[in-house]
C-alpha cells in the first residue's frame, strides 16, 4: 500500500511539474509571439502596388509622376512604396509625414539619393543641390547666404533688379499689340540678375539676349534630363550602358555650359587684375561685391574653413543659374496665366496696384510690402503650381520609422508637395485659384516651410536656398508687368493651364500674350531709374 501511495503522489507531482512546465512554455511562446508581432509591425515597409521580378514597378510608372503618386496616395494612404529595380522609393503625401521627415527627423533625412543625372550636373557631388549633407555643404550654404542672399547683400543688388525689370518693361513696350512669350521675358530677367550677382556685369544688351537665349535652350534640356526616370538609377548593373543616353547627353550639354562658366570666370579675373594694375580709370569696377569676388578673396586669403575649388564654383553656378532662372520665371508665367484666366482677380490686383503705386508712377520694390493681395496671388500660384512638385529627394542616413512604417537606410524619399497643397482635407476648394484664402487665414503660410500644408520650397536644412531672392524678384516683376500693361490672349487662343511634368513644373504651352499700354504717360516706359 505504501508503495502504491508513493507512486500516486509521485504521479501527482510529475503532473503538476508538467503543468507548470507547460504553462511556463505557453507564457514564453505568447511573449515571443507578441515581441515578433510588434517587431514585424515596427519593421514593416509601407504598402504599395505589386511589381514584377527584378524591375519591380518600373514598367507601370506614369510619366506624370506627381499625378500618378497622388492616385497611389488615394489608394494606399499617405505613405507608400515602389520597388524600382534594386532601389526602394518611398513617397509621402501628407503634411504630418512631411513634418516628420523635414522637421523631427530632419538631420536623418538630410542626405540626397544620388542619381546619374544629379551627379553629372553636380560635378560628381561638388554642388549644393545633389550633394550629401556635411561640413562642406554647411560651409558653402553659409557662404552663399552671407555673401549674396542675406538681406544686406540683396539690398545692395536692388539697383540691378530694377535695371533688369525696367529693361524688360521697355522691351515689352516696343512689342505692344504683338504676342510675347512671358517665359522668355522672365528667363532673361532672372538670367541677367543671377549672373550679375554671381560674376558681375560682363555682357552688353545684345550679348545678354543672344547668350541668354542660347543658354536657355541648354538649361531647359538639363532640367528635362534631371526630371526623367532613368533606368540606370534603379538597375546599377546597366548604368555603364547608359541605355537612355541621359549621362551622355548631359555631358554634351555641360561641354557647352562648362566653358561658358570658365569664360565668365576668366573674363572677370582679367578685369579685376586690370583694375588692380591700372586703377579704375574707366569706372570698370563693380561697386557691389559679387560672388566671384568673394571667391577670389577666399583664394587670396587662403580661407581654410571654406575649402572651395573652381569645380565647386562651377557647380554652384550650375545650381543657381540653371535652377533659379526657370523656377522663378515659371512662377510669374503661372501667375499671369491664372490672372488672364480670371478677370475678377486681375481687376482686384490692378485696383490694389493703382491705389498703392498710382498710374503716373512705376512700380518700385518699396511698394511690394504694401501689396498684400499681390502677395496672396503669388502664394496661391505656388500652392497650385509648386516649382518643384516632388521637391528634391531625400535619403535617410539610418533606418528609421515614419508613420508606423520602416524606411530603410539608403531609400529614396519623395514628398509630393503638389498633392499636399491640393488636398481637400487641408484646403477648401483646392483646385480653385483663390488668393483670398491667404488673406482670410490666421495661419502663417510662408516660403520657408513653417506650415507643412504649404511647402513649395521644402523645409528644414535642405530647403531651397534661393527663397530670399524669389521673395524679391517675383513680386517685383509680376507687379511691373501687371501695372504697366493690359494683357490679352491672341484671337482664338485660350489660356492653357495644363502642366508639363519635370523636375520643374511648367505650363504645357508657354504663355504667349499681347501687352497693351496701360500707363497714360509714354515716358514712364522709357524710365530706367527711379
- The annotation places the binding site for heme at 464
Chain Cα centroid distance, residue 370 = 27
Question: Is the CA virtual torsion 222, 219, 286, 159 positive or negative?
Answer: negative
| All cell numbers assigned to 396 | 535617410
Helices (H), 60-181: 65-76, 95-99, 116-121, 135-147, 151-156, 158-173
**Spatial CA neighbour of 184 closest among 518, 515, 512:** 512
Backbone angles phi, psi at 155, to 5 degrees: -60, -40
Distance CA 355, CA 403 (A): 49
DSSP 218-251: HHHHHHHHHTS--HHHH-GGGGGG-TT-HHHHHH
Sole residue written with cell 522609393:
89
- Reduce the DSSP state of residue 90 to 3 states and report it: strand
DSSP 438-506: HHH--S---TT-SSTT--TT--GGGS-TTHHHHHHHHHHHHHHHHHHEEEEPPTT------EE-SSS-E
- Reduce the DSSP state of residue 385 to 3 states and report it: coil
- Which residues partner with 512 through β-bridges? 181
- Which residues partner with 91 through β-bridges? 80, 414
Question: Is the CA virtual torsion 261, 266, 271, 276 positive or negative?
Answer: positive
- Reduce the DSSP state of residue 253 to 3 states and report it: helix
Whether 128 contacts 107, CB under 8 Å: no
Distance CA 186, CA 164 (A): 10
- Give 513's Cβ-side CA count (13 Å radius): 26
Neighbours of 296 (CB within 10 A): 15
DSSP 386-421: -SSTT-S-BB-SS-EEETTEEE-TT-EEEE-HHHHT
- Reduce the DSSP state of residue 105 to 3 states and report it: coil
Q: Enumerate the known binding-site residues.
A: 464
Distance CA 255, CA 397 (A): 33
Backbone angles phi, psi at 186, to 5 degrees: -70, -35
| All cell numbers assigned to 336 | 499671369
Whether 215 contacts 260, CB under 8 Å: yes
DSSP state of 52: B
Amino acid at each position: 500500500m505504501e508503495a502504491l501511495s508513493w507512486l500516486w503522489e509521485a504521479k501527482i507531482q510529475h503532473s503538476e511539474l508538467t503543468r507548470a512546465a507547460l504553462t511556463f512554455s505557453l507564457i514564453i511562446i505568447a511573449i515571443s509571439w507578441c515581441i515578433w508581432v510588434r517587431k514585424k509591425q515596427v519593421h514593416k515597409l509601407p504598402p504599395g502596388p505589386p511589381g514584377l521580378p527584378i524591375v519591380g514597378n518600373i514598367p507601370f510608372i506614369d510619366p506624370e509622376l506627381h499625378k500618378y503618386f497622388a492616385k497611389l496616395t488615394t489608394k494606399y494612404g499617405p505613405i507608400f512604396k515602389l520597388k524600382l529595380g534594386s532601389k526602394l522609393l518611398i513617397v509621402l503625401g501628407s503634411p504630418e509625414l512631411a513634418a516628420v521627415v523635414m522637421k523631427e527627423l530632419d538631420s536623418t533625412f538630410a542626405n540626397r539619393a544620388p542619381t546619374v543625372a544629379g551627379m553629372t550636373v553636380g560635378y560628381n557631388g561638388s554642388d549644393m543641390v545633389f550633394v550629401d549633407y556635411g561640413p562642406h555643404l554647411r560651409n558653402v550654404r553659409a557662404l552663399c547666404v552671407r555673401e549674396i542672399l542675406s538681406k544686406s547683400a540683396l539690398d545692395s543688388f536692388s539697383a540691378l533688379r530694377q535695371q533688369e525689370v525696367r529693361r524688360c518693361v521697355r522691351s515689352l513696350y516696343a512689342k505692344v499689340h504683338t504676342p510675347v512669350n512671358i517665359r522668355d521675358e522672365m528667363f532673361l530677367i532672372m538670367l541677367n540678375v543671377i549672373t550679375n550677382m554671381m560674376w558681375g556685369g560682363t555682357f552688353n544688351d545684345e550679348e545678354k539676349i543672344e547668350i541668354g537665349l542660347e543658354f536657355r535652350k541648354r538649361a531647359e534640356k538639363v532640367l528635362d534630363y534631371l526630371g526623367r526616370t532613368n533606368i540606370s538609377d534603379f538597375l546599377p548593373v546597366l548604368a555603364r550602358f547608359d541605355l537612355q543616353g541621359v549621362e551622355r547627353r548631359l555631358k554634351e550639354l555641360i561641354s557647352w555650359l562648362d566653358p561658358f562658366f570658365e569664360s565668365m570666370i576668366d573674363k572677370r579675373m582679367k578685369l579685376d587684375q586690370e583694375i588692380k594694375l591700372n586703377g579704375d580709370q574707366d569706372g570698370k569696377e563693380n561697386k557691389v561685391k559679387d560672388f566671384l569676388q568673394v571667391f577670389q578673396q577666399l583664394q587670396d586669403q587662403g580661407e581654410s574653413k571654406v575649402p572651395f575649388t573652381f569645380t565647386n564654383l562651377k557647380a554652384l553656378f550650375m545650381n543657381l543659374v540653371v535652377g533659379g532662372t526657370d523656377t522663378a520665371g515659371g512662377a510669374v508665367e503661372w501667375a499671369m496665366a491664372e490672372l488672364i484666366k480670371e478677370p475678377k482677380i486681375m481687376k482686384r490686383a490692378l485696383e490694389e496696384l493703382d491705389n498703392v503705386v498710382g498710374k503716373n508712377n512705376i512700380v518700385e520694390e518699396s511698394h511690394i510690402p504694401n501689396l498684400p493681395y499681390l502677395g496672396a496671388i503669388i502664394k496661391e500660384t505656388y500652392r497650385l503650381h509648386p516649382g518643384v512638385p516632388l521637391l528634391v529627394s531625400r535619403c535617410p542616413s539610418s533606418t528609421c520609422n515614419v508613420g508606423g512604417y520602416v524606411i530603410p537606410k539608403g531609400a529614396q524619399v519623395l514628398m509630393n508637395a503638389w498633392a499636399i497643397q491640393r488636398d481637400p482635407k487641408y484646403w477648401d476648394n483646392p483646385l480653385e485659384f483663390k488668393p483670398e484664402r491667404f488673406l482670410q487665414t490666421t495661419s502663417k503660410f510662408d516660403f520657408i516651410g513653417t506650415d507643412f500644408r504649404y511647402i513649395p520650397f521644402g523645409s528644414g536644412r535642405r530647403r531651397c536656398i534661393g527663397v530670399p531672392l524669389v521673395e524679391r524678384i517675383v513680386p517685383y516683376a509680376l507687379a511691373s508687368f501687371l501695372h504697366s500693361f493690359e494683357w490679352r490672349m491672341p484671337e482664338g487662343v485660350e489660356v492653357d493651364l495644363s502642366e508639363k511634368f519635370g523636375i520643374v513644373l511648367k505650363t504645357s504651352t508657354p504663355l504667349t500674350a499681347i501687352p497693351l499700354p496701360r500707363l497714360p504717360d509714354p515716358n514712364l516706359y522709357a524710365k530706367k531709374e527711379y
